[in-house]
Structure 1
Amino acid sequence: MQILLDRIRKDGVVKAGNVLKVDRFLNHQMDIGLFKEIGKEFKRRFEGTEINKILTIEASGIGIACIVAEYFDVPVVFAKKTKTKNIAGDVYTTKVESFTHGTVYDIIVSKEFLGEGDKVLVIDDFLANGKALEGLTALIKDSGAELAGAGIVIEKGFQEGGKRIRENGIRLESLAIVDSMDDKTGEIVFRNE
C-alpha cells in the first residue's frame, strides 16, 4: 500500500530500541483520509471472508478499527486494559506483554460482546513481538468465536511476532512490513518494495 509506505517515510520517526513513532498520523494524531484508504485495503484483502465483528485492543487500534468496520458494516469490540464499573458481569481475560510500554497487563472483553457464532477480524496498528495479537486470539478462542484473520497496519518484520503468528496458521495481512530501520539515519526499508 504505497500511500502508507510514503507516509511512514515522510512522517515516521525511527528511535533507538527499534521504536517507530507514527504518532503524527496513526496513533496519536489520526489522519482519517489515510484511515479510509486503510479500511478499503483491508476490505479488499478480506473480501469474501465471513466477518461479523472486529476486535482490537485499546487504545491505538480503536480509531483504525472503527474506520475498517465501516467498510465491513460490523461492530467493533475493543479489549480494555483495565476493568471498570462499566463492564458488568462475566468477562474473558488474558495477560498481554506490551513491546512499546515494556509492561504486562490484563486485557478484558465482556462475554456479552464476544461468543459462539462470531466471526472475528482482529485489527491493530502495530505487530512487533505478537503478544497483543496472541492475547486477542486467546480471548477469541476462550469465547468460542472464530478468528477470521488479522489485519495489521505496520508489522516489524525483523521481529518474531509475524513469523510466529503465521506459523500458527493465522491469516495475517500486514499493509506495511518494515524489514529494517536505522535510528541514526532514519532509513526505513520495507519488504517487497
Structure 2
Amino acid sequence: MKSFIKLFALMAAMAVGGTASAANFRTVVIDAGHGGHDNGGQWGRVYEKHLALDTAYRLEGKLKSLGYQTVMTRRSDYFISLPQRVSTGNRYTNNAIFVSIHYNYTWKQDVSGLETFYSTEQSHSLAYCVHNSLIQRTRTVDRKVKYARFYVIRNSTLPAILVEGGFVSNATERNRMKSAWFRETIAQGIADGIQRYRRQY
C-alpha cells in the first residue's frame, strides 16, 4: 500500500510539473496541412490544402492579437515534408505548442463532424481544451478527442495536436468550409482553446 501511495504521489508530481511547463509557452507553431502537389482531401475544386492554409492565417492573426508569437510551417501553396514540419516545431522546445490544421475526407459522404487528435500525454489537455472550444463555437457534430500516431504529433517534442475541421467529402460541411465565416469560426475556436489551455493552469 505504501509503495502504491509513493508511486501515485510521484505520478502526480510529474503530471503537475509537465502541465505547468507546457502552459508556460509564448509561441504557437501553426502547421497548415498538405500543400503544393499534395492537395489533401479534395472534392471538385475544393482542396484541403487551401482550406488549411486560410484557416492557419486566420488563427495566426487571432493569436498575435492576444500577444502570442507565431511560427507558420508554410505560408503559401508549396509542399513541405512531414519531418520538416516537425523540425520547425521542435526548435521551440519548452516554449511552444504545435497545432496542425486539417480538413477531413472519407468515401462515406454522410460522415461529418470535428475531431481533434493527440499522441502524447503532454498533449492530452491541449487537445481537450481546443476541441471543446471548437464544438462550442461551431455547434457541429462532435467526433471527440482521439489518440492517434500521426507523424507530426507523434514526433513532436512540444504539446502537439492535429485538428480536423470537418469533412470535405460531406456536402453540408463542404459548403460551410467554402464560406469565410466558417473558417473564421474554426480559427476562433482553436484560439479560444489555446487561451483556455493556458488559463487552466
TM-score scaled to structure 1, two decimals? 0.30
Higher relative contact order (CA 8 A, sep 6+): 2
TM-score scaled to structure 2, two decimals? 0.29
Which has the higher Rg, Structure 1 or Structure 2?
Answer: 2
| Structure number having the greater helix percentage | 2
